[in-house]
């Protein structure tokens, strides 16, 4: 599930009552200082727009969070913490910089740097296209930028908690553009030696200790290690929660014999299951990489990984924009209906019966796995704040809602022919600033499995349900 803010924010009249605010200061119109423009992105409870500052004419990004969806004090504190953390990280070169925050009756607005150079995979595509090769040193430079951001966070007492390719974007399209970390919605402040309780990480980038619900800053290193593995192989090291918890991954079969020993050793140090034995960000930054070209077979796999990741991400944006505010609120009533004994928590049996009643196709094993992942405090039950992320996790990973899938397919099917053509794909990608004709051709070649030059609905569904998993080489 994505975000539920599908319209431009409309500021309302300010009122001077500080007690009614989230940020603890008088309400203020953002349109006194900025004009909001094109929508750039959607995410949980918010939408991001391009904005222009009246006083300087400079362009920034504005993340607008809809206040009425922040129904608990905990959710409001998350917004305050996000802003506090971004202010704490001002001046760090690999962190997106906050420019200001404003609150009106309907929204909290966070103004920050506008990064226009695409994400991590866009950089890889540019390297391959411009240089006709991609080396371990290229992968190392990308990971170095990530680790600089991680080190900046850790040195300021911050755990990012959601290190993944989507959360690293290039400041511009220039060759010397800097990678910037974004996505601080899940970040937390922590003192040295302390541990955090709660969910941390995204799907395949989640560290094993985060699945158990108590962890420290080392989870960011693990997630960066997963990214390095992907950058060198074009596939994930772990394909399930079970594999993450066991910490076993392959460094022997293709393509790993062609990868340098030093790169494989670094992956092992970053993906060490025991967080206390995991390498630190500072030590990773002290290492040097070999300028060894990546094998063409790996390049082909990386191109496929990038293509499937891109269209999957774009389709999720379309689906997110179609999800109504009513649907997110329905999750709260769903919790109440499953909590049959009105204890304020949901047991495994209540979850299994409740999901079955809702028509879920999850097997008993999958329900148990979901329960184990969501039960972050390990007490055998799900509290409300554990239940909501778990349900959103199901929506994201399984894409069970057929109407959402079909709506996304229709978005790409511009001529209502029942197929996604190259023209439709190119239009959608350009509209969302997610690629060019070359990217569209690569996506078409990977998703069009019957090679008829277009993508039918079955091919689209297969990509959506499997594309975030593991593109096969």
Max mean pLDDT range (310-319, 370-379, 405-414, 447-456): 447-456
Mean pLDDT of the 140-144 span = 93
Max mean pLDDT range (10-14, 79-83, 456-460): 79-83
With 60 as the cut, is the pLDDT of residue 398 above it? no
Question: CA-to-CA distance for 355 and 393, rounded, in angstroms?
Answer: 14
Active site residue 104: no
Higher per-residue confidence, 439 vs 279: 279
If asked whether residues 106 and 139 sit together in one domain, one would say no
Q: What's the CATH number where 327 sits?
A: 1.10.238.10
In a domain, 9, yes or no: no
Mean pLDDT of the 356-384 span = 73
Strands 381-383 and 179-181: unpaired
Question: CA-to-CA distance for 231 and 227, rounded, in angstroms?
Answer: 6
Of 85, 113, 141, which one is at a domain's C-terminal end?
A: 113
Burial class (CB in 10 A: 0-12, 13-18, 19+), 327: middle
In a domain, 4, yes or no: no
Higher per-residue confidence, 56 vs 291: 56
Determine contact, residues 434/427, Cβ cutoff 8 Å: no
Higher per-residue confidence, 45 vs 138: 138
Question: What is the pLDDT at residue 128?
Answer: 64
| pLDDT-derived band at 305, boundaries 50, 70, 90 | confident
Of 68, 95, 113, which one is at a domain's C-terminal end?
A: 113
Question: What is the pLDDT at residue 374?
Answer: 66
Q: At what angle do helices 422-431 and 437-447 cross, to 10 degrees?
A: 130
Q: What's the CATH number where 87 sits?
A: 3.30.200.20
Q: What's the CATH number where 147 sits?
A: 1.10.510.10
| pLDDT-derived band at 256, boundaries 50, 70, 90 | very high
If asked whether residues 155 and 285 sit together in one domain, one would say yes
In a domain, 5, yes or no: no
If asked whether residues 88 and 144 sit together in one domain, one would say no
Question: CA-to-CA distance for 147 and 183, rounded, in angstroms?
Answer: 15
If asked whether residues 454 and 361 sit together in one domain, one would say yes
In a domain, 302, yes or no: no
If asked whether residues 107 and 227 sit together in one domain, one would say no
Q: Which of 41, 44, 138, 162 is catalytic?
A: 162
In a domain, 304, yes or no: no
In a domain, 374, yes or no: yes
In a domain, 237, yes or no: yes
Q: Residue 355: name the closest of 312, 385, 387, 327 by CA.
A: 387
With 50 as the cut, is the pLDDT of residue 10 above it? no
If asked whether residues 373 and 262 sit together in one domain, one would say no
In a domain, 14, yes or no: no
Question: What is the pLDDT at residue 405?
Answer: 73
If asked whether residues 265 and 125 sit together in one domain, one would say yes
If asked whether residues 64 and 97 sit together in one domain, one would say yes
With 50 as the cut, is the pLDDT of residue 89 above it? yes
| pLDDT-derived band at 335, boundaries 50, 70, 90 | confident
With 50 as the cut, is the pLDDT of residue 468 above it? no
Question: CA-to-CA distance for 191 and 33, rounded, in angstroms?
Answer: 36
If asked whether residues 123 and 256 sit together in one domain, one would say yes
Distances (CA, A) of 413 to 316, 424, 453, 454, 456: 15, 6, 14, 10, 9
* 402-443 pLDDT, tens digit each: 666 777 788 888 888 889 888 888 887 777 666 556 667 777
Element (H, E) at 100: strand 98-103
If asked whether residues 104 and 123 sit together in one domain, one would say no
Overall domain count for the chain: 3
> Which range among 40-44, 216-220, 259-263, 391-395 shows the weakest confidence by mean pLDDT?
391-395
Of 96, 113, 130, which one is at a domain's C-terminal end?
A: 113
If asked whether residues 93 and 139 sit together in one domain, one would say no
With 50 as the cut, is the pLDDT of residue 277 above it? yes
Helices (H), 342-469: 348-357, 364-374, 384-398, 402-412, 422-431, 437-447, 457-466
Determine contact, residues 224/165, Cβ cutoff 8 Å: no
**Structure tokens, 43:** 């995410």
Burial class (CB in 10 A: 0-12, 13-18, 19+), 324: exposed
CA 174, chain centre distance (Å): 24
Max mean pLDDT range (36-40, 327-331, 360-364, 389-393): 36-40
Element (H, E) at 421: none
Rg (CA), the chain: 22
DSSP-assigned letters across all residues of 268-295: HHHT-SSGGGSPPHHHHHT-----PBPP
Determine contact, residues 448/454, Cβ cutoff 8 Å: yes
Q: Mean pLDDT for the chain?
A: 81
If asked whether residues 349 and 444 sit together in one domain, one would say yes
* 150-193 pLDDT, tens digit each: 999 999 999 999 999 889 999 998 888 999 999 998 899 998 88
- Domain span including residue 382: 314-467
């Amino acid at each position: 599930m994505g975000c539920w803010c599908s319209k431009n924010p409309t500021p309302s009249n300010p009122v001077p009552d500080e007690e009614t605010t989230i940020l603890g200061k008088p309400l203020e119109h953002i349109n006194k200082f900025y004009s909001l423009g094109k929508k750039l992105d959607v995410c949980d409870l918010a939408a991001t727009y391009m904005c222009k500052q009246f006083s300087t004419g400079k362009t920034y990004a504005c993340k607008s969070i809809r206040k009425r969806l922040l129904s608990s004090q905990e959710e409001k504190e998350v917004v305050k913490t996000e802003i506090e953390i971004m202010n704490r990280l001002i001046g760090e070169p690999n962190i997106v910089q906050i420019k200001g925050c404003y609150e009106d009756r309907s929204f909290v607005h966070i103004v920050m740097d506008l990064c226009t150079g695409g994400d991590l995979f866009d950089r890889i595509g540019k390297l391959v296209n411009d240089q006709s090769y991609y080396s371990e040193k290229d992968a190392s430079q990308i990971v170095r930028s990530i680790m600089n951001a991680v080190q900046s966070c850790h040195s300021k007492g911050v755990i990012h908690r959601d290190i993944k390719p989507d959360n690293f974007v290039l400041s511009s399209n220039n060759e010397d553009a800097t990678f910037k970390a974004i996505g601080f919605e899940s970040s937390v402040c922590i003192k040295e030696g302390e541990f955090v309780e709660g969910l941390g990480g995204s799907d395949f980038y989640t560290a094993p200790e985060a699945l158990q619900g108590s962890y420290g800053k080392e989870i960011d290193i693990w997630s960066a290690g997963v990214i390095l593995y992907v950058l060198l192989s074009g596939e994930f090291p772990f394909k399930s929660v079970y594999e993450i918890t066991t910490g076993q991954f392959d460094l022997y079969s293709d393509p790993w014999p062609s990868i340098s020993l030093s790169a494989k050793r670094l992956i092992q140090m970053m993906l060490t299951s025991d967080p206390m034995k995991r390498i630190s960000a500072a030590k990773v930054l002290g290492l040097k990489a070999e300028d060894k070209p990546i094998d063409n077979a790996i390049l082909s796999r990386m191109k496929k990984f990038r293509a499937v990741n891109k269209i999957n991400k774009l389709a999720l944006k379309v689906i997110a924009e179609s999800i109504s505010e009513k649907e997110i609120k329905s999750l709260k009533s769903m919790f109440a209906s499953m909590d049959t004994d009105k204890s304020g928590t949901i047991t495994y049996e209540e979850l299994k019966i409740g999901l079955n009643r809702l028509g879920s196709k999850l097997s008993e094993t999958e329900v148990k796995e979901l329960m184990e992942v969501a039960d972050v405090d390990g007490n055998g039950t799900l509290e409300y704040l554990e239940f909501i992320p778990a349900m959103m996790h199901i929506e994201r990973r399984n894409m069970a809602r057929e109407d959402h899938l079909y709506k996304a397919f229709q978005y790409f099917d511009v001529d209502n022919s029942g197929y996604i053509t190259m023209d439709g794909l190119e239009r959608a990608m350009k509209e969302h600033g997610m690629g060019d004709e070359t990217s569209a051709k690569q996506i078409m070649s990977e998703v069009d499995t019957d090679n008829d030059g277009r993508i039918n609905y079955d091919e689209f569904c297969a990509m959506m349900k499997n594309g975030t998993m593991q593109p096969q080489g």
